[in-house]
Amino acid sequence: MDKGYDYPDIRELVEDYGYTEHIHSRGEEINKKKQMPGYRARRWVVERTHSWINRFRRLLIRWEKKLENYAAMLHFACAWITFKRAVLFR
């Protein structure tokens, strides 16, 4: 997550869900760039994944009216992406 999520409420919500937060504090990225030459932010991972999911037109347009159907298609898309990546990098 980027600096737009650097708020106490968001950090608490992430902790409540049991996730490990990777939210850089404001100014922390600049310090890491100074300490580690060649440091690159990893935000592109999330953006790339959203792009892969948006290739499924059914998810992009969201034709399903029921949440269960949409969640099932989302799980299918993630499984399909994982399968294709596994086959590609054998």
Tell me the pLDDT of the chain (90 aa) as tens digits: 566 677 788 888 888 998 877 776 767 767 777 777 776 666 677 788 888 888 988 888 888 889 999 999 999 999 999 999 888 877
Question: Residue 10: helix, strand or coil by DSSP?
Answer: helix
* Amino acid identity at 90: R
Among 16, 66, 22, smallest CA distance to 41 is for 22
Q: What are 78's two structure tokens?
A: 């993630």
pLDDT for residue 14: 85
pLDDT for residue 39: 64
pLDDT for residue 75: 94
The model's pTM: 0.54
Length reported for the chain = 90
Q: CB-based contacts of 43: which residues, under 8 Å, 6+ apart?
A: 2
Helix axis angle, 67-88 to 44-54, nearest 10°:
110
